[in-house]
Amino acid sequence: METVEMNSVSLKRPRSEDDVASADEIKRQKILENCKAENDSGQSIETVTEQPEDTKSEIIANEESEEQEEEELEESDEDGDPESFADMMKHGLTESDVGITKFVSSHKGFSGILKERYSDFVVHEIGKDGRVSHLDDFSVPVDDEDPSEETFTVLSDEDKQRLEELQLFKNKETSVAIEVIEDTKEKRTIIHQAVKSLFPGLETKTEDRDGKKYIIAYHAAGKKALANPRKHSWPKSRGSYCHFVLYKENKDTMDAINVLSKFLRVKPNIFSYMGTKDKRAITVQEIAVLRITAQRLAHLNKCLMNFKLGNFSYKNYPLKLGELQGNHFTVVLRNITGTDEQIEQAMHSLREIGFINYYGMQRFGTTAVPTYQIGRAILQNNWNEVMDLILKPRPGAEKGYLVKCREEWAKTKDPAAALKKLPVKRCVEGQLLRGLLKYGMKNIISAFGIIPRNNRLMYIHSYQSYVWNNMVSKRIEEYGLRAVPGDLILKGATAVHIEEGDVDNYTIHDVVMPLPGFDVIYPKHKIGEAYKEMLVADNLDINNMRHKIRDYSLSGAYRKIIIRPQNVNWEVVAYDDPKIPLFTTDLDKLEGKASPVLPTDGKFRALKMEFSLPPSTYATMAIREVLKMDTSIKNQTQLNTTWLR
């Protein structure tokens, strides 16, 4: 799966009291007022009880309540004092721990702060047609079959809450009655439309009660109705998927989709996208959603913080993971120390030669137990080691409740007791403990299987990446930046060795290296042997990468050694205030905000750089080549806190 991952160098300043109560809080209040104003109406509401309480509705309500509490816990623990965070990160990984040791350029390195603000890092997705995604249009496609604007305001906040609880089976009511205050046919029609379009799965009918008209909302087809939007209400002439551009700040793609699905009251799986984007950044990407109108999506712009939706269109197909051509990055490195000459040399080298296509630090986790160690234990079939590595106490940056959970586990080896210390059950540790509680300590394989498949595979992919990084460093140390006999290149999707007579036909930019697996070949020179030696040292057989559990069998893949970014541009700017943005975003342009006015001779200097990368490459590794500096959280956090003293 293509992913833009940059969390490993997320840096934060100490938050002053002014910062905490600042723009975000004002923005939040304004949005809440907007949403409330939109929902004000004169409708009154009455609930009708026809059947005894459904115990399943209680479970659903409890799970949603627990999920909300977990989200609040996670968010409340996000910001901490940078000094203490830097101290905790002394136990984190450095680049050399995961095989990242070489550079391709000859310039002298310099220091700079990456992601001091999340707005210093902007990602624009590049679609399969080569078009860069931009948010530049809030207009909604005109469609005669769309409901009227009043559909979105006719229901009060109380109406919507009762209807949502009915839709999600969160209480004992089997229907909700909304009194029609201004009884006209037009008004009743609007209420019918509002309920059906905003709450998929509910049907409506009109009833007379004591001389008053009521719209009665009820479930159309039991609990399965919620899973799919109403097919019969969608015009046949309109494409089934609404495509839109999602602009988001400081949220990862899955979190964003979960938020959108909650506001729209639909399942997250009706959304599709081409790649996941990082949290600590401003990102712009295309999303498709099944049978939700552009009109309804556009209304979310008034209610959501740090999200904007636009560039709406209807199409007959969803999006698929991996369909994109790559991503375009706009990055600010603040407080740089390099001379103009150093910067010119560094950026020219990035444009002409490129950078080593290492897997970035975020591939290996941020704690004292790297993810590749767990992956190695899985491949070794050492399940006690897998359990121990995930659950044992570890030094370094972790949330307090995780520390207590690990201490309890070390002391008692009791899954139930450890789970009690863990308010956030959705984390890997919580999932594994639940599995152990269900299947017992003698069936760790089944217990581990409770963890979502993608998370489990992340561990073994991390081990593959660890091997690849180490082998590429050895390859560059041994043979430098030229193609040599025995190297691998791709012809179509097939890897072949470079023969002695053909070596002059290829450059280092053609050379690929394998991720270990049962369906790849290895270089025919010293590095081929080095692969075998590394796996032997890890008690693994390079000729037998099939696992008795099919999910953990590694087929392998090929990856280019050197990546040369496209569309590389840069400039050095001066600034005085570290809090001001140094470029305008899509949203700034739409809102008519002026470009920042920067001094000609400020206290600090920043390097603004732009470049495009193909999928599954790490922008941190391109930036590392420019700075010639360790991009690990351990190093960057210490650099940032030193600067802030």
Estimate to the nearest angstrom the gap between the alpha carbon of 458 and the chain centroid: 14
CA distances from 575 to 335, 572, 580, 604 (A): 9, 10, 8, 5
d(CA 94, CA 304): 37
d(CA 253, CA 255): 6
* Bridge partners of residue 218, in order along the sequence: 175, 203
Q: Whats the size of the chain, residue-wise?
A: 645
* Helix (H), strand (E), coil (C) string for 98-140: HCCCCCCCCCCCCCCEECCCHHHEEEEEECCCCCECCCCCCCC
- Residue tagged 């956030």 (tokens): 424
Name the strands in the sheet holding 511-515, side by side, starting at the edge strand that comes first in the sequence: 494-497, 488-491, 511-515, 557-560
Contact in structure between 497 and 524 (CB atoms under 8 Å): yes
- Would you report the helix, strand and coil content of the chain in percent, each value rounded to 5? 40, 20, 40
d(CA 31, CA 150): 19
Catalytic residue list contains 601: no
What DSSP state is assigned to residue 361? G
Contacts of 563 (CB under 8 A, 6+ apart): 354, 355, 357, 613, 614, 617, 622
- Residue tagged 């342009």 (tokens): 589
Task: Count CB-CB contacts under 10 A for residue 264.
Answer: 21
d(CA 246, CA 49): 41
Lookup: tokens for 8: 């490993």
d(CA 606, CA 117): 13
- Residue tagged 């450890």 (tokens): 418
Contact in structure between 558 and 520 (CB atoms under 8 Å): yes
CA distances from 422 to 27, 410, 428 (A): 33, 14, 11
CA distances from 598 to 22, 579, 592, 602 (A): 23, 12, 18, 8
> 154-190 b/e with 16+ CB inside 10 Å = b?
bbbeebbebbbbbbbbbbbbebbbbbbeeeeeebbeb
Q: Is 52 exposed, middle or buried (0-12, 13-18, 19+ CB in 10 A)?
A: exposed
Q: Kindly name the residue from 278, 487, 586, 630 that is annotated as catalytic.
A: 278
Contact in structure between 229 and 290 (CB atoms under 8 Å): yes
- Residues with a catalytic annotation lie at 278
